[in-house]
Chain A
Amino acid sequence: MNKLLNQSLKQFLVYSGIVLACSIPVYYIAISMLWQYELSEHHIILTPEADREDSFLIIGAVTLLSVFFFALLLGGFVLLNRRISRRLWQPFYRSLAQIKNFNLNQQAKLPFEPTNIAEFAELNASLDKLIDGNIAVYAQQKEFADNASHELQTPLSIVQSKLELLLQSQTLRDEQYKLIEEAVHALLRVGRINKNLLLLTKIENSQFTEKEDIDLSGLVEDTVLQFIPFSQDKEQELQTSLLPGTRVQGNRMLIEILLNNLMTNAIRHSPPRSPISIDLSGSSLVIANAGSVPLDASQLFKRFSSASTQTPGTGLGLSLIQQVCNRYNWQVVYAYYNGRHIFSVRF
């Protein structure tokens, strides 16, 4: 990529080169004519050899001088260009640096320095407007996410609390209790979906920006430990092979969400008494579990595409996994090999 002023510099140089080149024959003709005039005035007649020699001398001198001046121009242009670009474009570069450091998340306006160059003033004003708009939209979206959460969570908690009160009735029959329990179950699922949708929105809105250095090996190990009761319920063996000391940069909460969802999927979607393997190497995490049919990789990571009636999840787990991976430019890949679903995250 070329700098803007270098583009014009090249054209200036080509133009001056052409002008100087054109000036060589003009000078030659003019000097020759003067020379001839002087010679004839003083009645000097040269031999043809001397005449040719003079011509060569004139051409040589003129060319040399032109080249010299061209070099002078070249040097001058380059130096001037450098100075002008530094001074003239300074407001532009300052604005650029500010925009580069802009973080929508901080919701802070950019204090552009006033400039007396009309174009830059206009540019800064337009940028200001654009950024204001972005900040407003972002704040609105965030507010919507917050409000949606509030509006939905409150009625949900009312229903849940009423059902729980109903459980306290003295005269419940077994089947009535079962009905309530089933309703509570479905309600918890709605709450879960709501929570995950909000989480997705928040991640897409680039919230959770705090980053830290995380000991992934330790975190995976802790996560696996937490899931042991659930895998034991299904008599599944968790085979881990974790390379110690693997570290990543990221938001702890997001990475926990990633790991929890990967583990939940593996345990939930594999048959009882089948092994689940978790391999962490320096650059990837691979979780594999048994499965009878390959999944549709093109639909897999879309929202609600995987929600099935047999395994009542939220249908958002894999979307969450992908969003977290997108955030850190990691890759999550699905493969089906040898009767096993394999999810690998490369970081």
Chain B
Amino acid sequence: MKILIIEDEQALAQSIGTYLSDTNYLCEFAATFGEAMEKVEVYEYDCILLDLMLPGGDGFKVLEELKAMKKQEGVIIISAKNSIEDKIKGLEMGADDYMAKPFHLSELGARIYSVIRRKYFGNVNIVEQNELKIDLLAKAVSVNNREVPLTKKEFGLLLYFISNKNRVISKSALAEHISGDIADMFDNYDFVYAHIKNLKKKLTEAGCENHLKTLYGTGYKWEI
């Protein structure tokens, strides 16, 4: 899977690149508007991360150009602006998602995963991992072909882990994923623990191997 990171802040682009460069993702970088347009015109990507404020031009123009060329790339806008207007404008112009900086890399990982799945696996969107089978459209999970009933939050967590496999995920990132802005307001993330415990229990009881490892007391990792 090829990903283009259009971001003028080198340090941030490098972090994203390093985080995503596991076996699945190959990252390329563009730091200016000109570079971005060049790469977008010549190459095909699976997903493009687009910063809106670029030296040499407006990120929206890149998006416009992509749509004019009828390219199918999934686009995730990453902006420091966090303004509703930008978000609406971006989504209306055909972006698939909008993330406000600062964000958790694991959250970015999950969003990229879901954009790519949506784009390329349209109708049969099923993730299989050994005995575990996840139907993304029906939001159903089965182990050895036996369905495991999960709550919405547990399903969200499972997907978050799968899309960030072999990565250490902190509890604060999980809390934000589950509760959005509200988690932001608290420093106590115990409720995350309860959801994870339930998810783990349901999966093991259904006969799924335990992929979810607890690290250093409060971190999690989906090992495969």
A: residues with CB less than 8 A from B are 146, 149-150, 153-154, 156-162, 164-165, 167-168, 172, 174, 177-178, 181, 184-185, 187-188, 191-192, 195, 226-227, 229-230, 232-234, 253, 260-261, 264, 267-268, 312-313, 317
Q: Is the pair A160, B102 in contact by a Cβ cutoff of 8 Å?
A: yes
Residues of chain A with a CB closer than 8 A to B83's CB: 146
Q: Closest chain B residue to A190 by CB distance?
A: B102
Q: Is the pair B188, A230 in contact by a Cβ cutoff of 8 Å?
A: yes
Please measure, in the bound complex, the distance between the C-alpha atom of A232 and the C-alpha atom of B189, giving whole angstroms.
12
Task: Find the residue from B83, B102, B103, B187 having the highest chain A CB count within 10 A.
Answer: B102
Residues of chain A with a CB closer than 8 A to B80's CB: 149-150, 153-154, 157
Residues of chain B with a CB closer than 8 A to A267's CB: 186
Q: Is the pair B15, A162 in contact by a Cβ cutoff of 8 Å?
A: yes
B125 within 8 A of A: no
* B82 interface neighbour in A165, A178, A195, A317, Cβ under 8 Å: A195
* B216 interface neighbour in A158, A178, A187, Cβ under 8 Å: A178
Among B37-45, B56-64, B166-174, B197-205, the one that faces the other chain is B166-174
Residues of chain A with a CB closer than 8 A to B105's CB: 161, 164-165
Q: Is the pair A230, B186 in contact by a Cβ cutoff of 8 Å?
A: yes
The smallest beta-carbon distance between B108 and chain A, in angstroms, is 9
Residues of chain B with a CB closer than 8 A to A312's CB: 187
Residues of chain A with a CB closer than 8 A to B106's CB: 164
Q: Is the pair A161, B12 in contact by a Cβ cutoff of 8 Å?
A: yes
Q: Is the pair A185, B187 in contact by a Cβ cutoff of 8 Å?
A: yes
Q: Closest chain B residue to A223 by CB distance?
A: B182
Q: Is the pair B182, A226 in contact by a Cβ cutoff of 8 Å?
A: yes
| Given the contacts A149-B80, A162-B11, A168 and B218 also touching, CB distance less than 8 Å | no
B92 within 8 A of A: no
Residues of chain B with a CB closer than 8 A to A149's CB: 80-82
Query: 7 A-B contacts, Cβ less than 8 Å apart?
Result: A150-B80, A161-B15, A161-B105, A168-B167, A172-B216, A230-B186, A234-B188
B179 within 8 A of A: yes
Please measure, in the bound complex, the distance between the C-alpha atom of A256 and the C-alpha atom of B178, giving whole angstroms.
18
Residues of chain A with a CB closer than 8 A to B11's CB: 158, 161-162
Q: Closest chain B residue to A261 by CB distance?
A: B185
* B101 interface neighbour in A156, A226, A233, Cβ under 8 Å: A156
Q: Is the pair A168, B219 in contact by a Cβ cutoff of 8 Å?
A: no
* A260 interface neighbour in B12, B171, B182, B217, Cβ under 8 Å: B182
* B9 interface neighbour in A154, A167, A174, Cβ under 8 Å: A154
B: residues with CB less than 8 A from A are 9, 11-12, 15-16, 18-19, 53, 80-84, 100-106, 167-168, 170-173, 179, 181-182, 184-188, 190-191, 215-219
Please measure, in the bound complex, the distance between the C-alpha atom of A165 and the C-alpha atom of B117, giving whole angstroms.
25
| Given the contacts A174-B217, A230-B188, A154 and B101 also touching, CB distance less than 8 Å | yes
The smallest beta-carbon distance between A347 and chain B, in angstroms, is 23
Q: Closest chain A residue to B181 by CB distance?
A: A260
Task: Find the residue from A159, A168, A174, A185 having the highest chain B CB count within 10 A.
Answer: A168
* A177 interface neighbour in B81, B100, B216, Cβ under 8 Å: B216
Please measure, in the bound complex, the distance between the C-alpha atom of A167 and the C-alpha atom of B167, giving whole angstroms.
9
Q: Is the pair B81, A185 in contact by a Cβ cutoff of 8 Å?
A: no
Residues of chain A with a CB closer than 8 A to B216's CB: 172, 174, 177-178
* A230 interface neighbour in B12, B168, B182, Cβ under 8 Å: B182
The smallest beta-carbon distance between B188 and chain A, in angstroms, is 6
Q: Closest chain B residue to A268 by CB distance?
A: B186
Please measure, in the bound complex, the distance between the C-alpha atom of A226 and the C-alpha atom of B190, giving whole angstroms.
15
Residues of chain B with a CB closer than 8 A to A168's CB: 19, 167-168
Q: Closest chain B residue to A231 by CB distance?
A: B191
Please measure, in the bound complex, the distance between the C-alpha atom of A164 and the C-alpha atom of B168, giving whole angstroms.
8
Please measure, in the bound complex, the distance between the C-alpha atom of A227 and the C-alpha atom of B186, giving whole angstroms.
11
Q: Is the pair B191, A161 in contact by a Cβ cutoff of 8 Å?
A: no
Residues of chain B with a CB closer than 8 A to A153's CB: 80, 82, 100-102
Q: Is the pair B185, A184 in contact by a Cβ cutoff of 8 Å?
A: no
